[in-house]
């Protein structure tokens, strides 16, 4: 049996999927979270001070949990926030506080 070929009229009747308003908003929010994640990762690497690096890490983790929520994985988002932000964040924060550093006058200016 020979294969059926689509004629020019068949090709014109094919529908192109269109994005509705909800899809456009969801894509925009995803790109916002992705930008925050990449910016947080770059801030983590390029920060001069440990406290600024920690703040960038928090932004990065929060944006990743937002992406998990967009994907419909609320449990993973909750685990991301509880485990990484709480546990790792507290350990790094205590590391910052316990690190002895000589206070210079230029820090207060």
6 part of a folded domain? no
14 part of a folded domain? no
What gap in Å lies between CA 91 and CA 77, rounded to an integer? 20
CB 92 within 8 A of CB 57: yes
82 part of a folded domain? yes
69 part of a folded domain? yes
What is the domain range of residue 61?
Answer: 21-108
Report the CATH number at residue 68. Answer: 1.20.120.1200
Q: Which residues contact 89 (CB under 8 A, 6 or more apart)?
A: 54, 57, 58, 61
Output 3 or 46, whichever has higher pLDDT. 46
1 part of a folded domain? no
Q: Is 0.75 surpassed by the pTM of this model?
A: no
56 part of a folded domain? yes
Tokens 């006058």: give the residue: 105
Tens of pLDDT, residues 62-101: 999 999 999 999 999 999 888 887 777 787 777 777 776 6
Instruction: Report the number of distinct structural domains present in the chain.
Output: 1
């Amino acid at each position: 049996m020979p294969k059926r070929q689509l004629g020019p009229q068949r090709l014109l009747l094919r529908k192109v999927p269109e994005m509705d308003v909800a899809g456009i908003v969801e894509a925009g929010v995803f790109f916002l979270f992705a930008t925050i994640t990449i910016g947080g990762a770059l801030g983590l690497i390029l920060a001069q001070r440990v406290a600024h690096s920690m703040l960038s890490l928090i932004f990065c983790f929060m944006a990743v949990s937002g992406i998990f929520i967009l994907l419909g994985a609320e449990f993973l988002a909750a685990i991301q926030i509880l485990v990484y932000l709480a546990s790792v964040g507290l350990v790094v924060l205590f590391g910052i506080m316990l690190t002895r550093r000589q206070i210079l006058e230029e820090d207060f200016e």
